[in-house]
Amino acid sequence: MKIGVLALQGAVREHVRQLEAAGATAVTVKHAKEFADLDGLVIPGGESTTISKLMREYQLTEPVLEMHRAGKPVFGTCAGLIMIAKQIDGQEDAHLGLMDVSVKRNAFGRQRESFEVEIPVKKVADDFQAVFIRAPYIEKAGEGVDVLAEVDGKIVAAQQGTLLGVAFHPELTEDIRFHAYFVELVRQSLAVSVR
Residues 11 and 161: their CA atoms lie apart, in Å, by: 25
Q: Does 134 bind ligand GLN (CB under 6 A)?
A: yes
146 neighbors 156 (Cβ within 8 angstroms): no
Q: Does 180 bind ligand GLN (CB under 6 A)?
A: no
- Following CA atoms 30, 36, 37, 42 in sequence, which dihedral angle do they give, to the nearest 10 degrees? 50
For the four alpha carbons of 127, 122, 158 and 109, in that order, the dihedral sign comes to negative
User: Which of 16, 29, 82, 157 is the binder for ligand GLN (CB under 6 A)?
Assistant: 82
Residues 20-39 that bind ligand GLN (CB under 6 A): none
Instruction: Examine the residue annotation and report whether 171 is marked as an active-site residue of this protein.
Output: yes
Confirm whether residue 133 is marked as ligand binding: yes
Residues 173 and 171: their CA atoms lie apart, in Å, by: 6
Shortest separation between residue 52's beta carbon and ligand GLN, angstroms: 9
User: Which of 5, 24, 60, 133 is the binder for ligand GLN (CB under 6 A)?
Assistant: 133
Q: Which is nearer to ligand GLN, 82 or 157 (CB)?
A: 82
- Give the orientation angle of helix 48-57 with respect to helix 61-69, to 10 degrees: 100
Q: Does 47 bind ligand GLN (CB under 6 A)?
A: yes
Q: Which of 15, 68, 171, 179 is catalytic?
A: 171
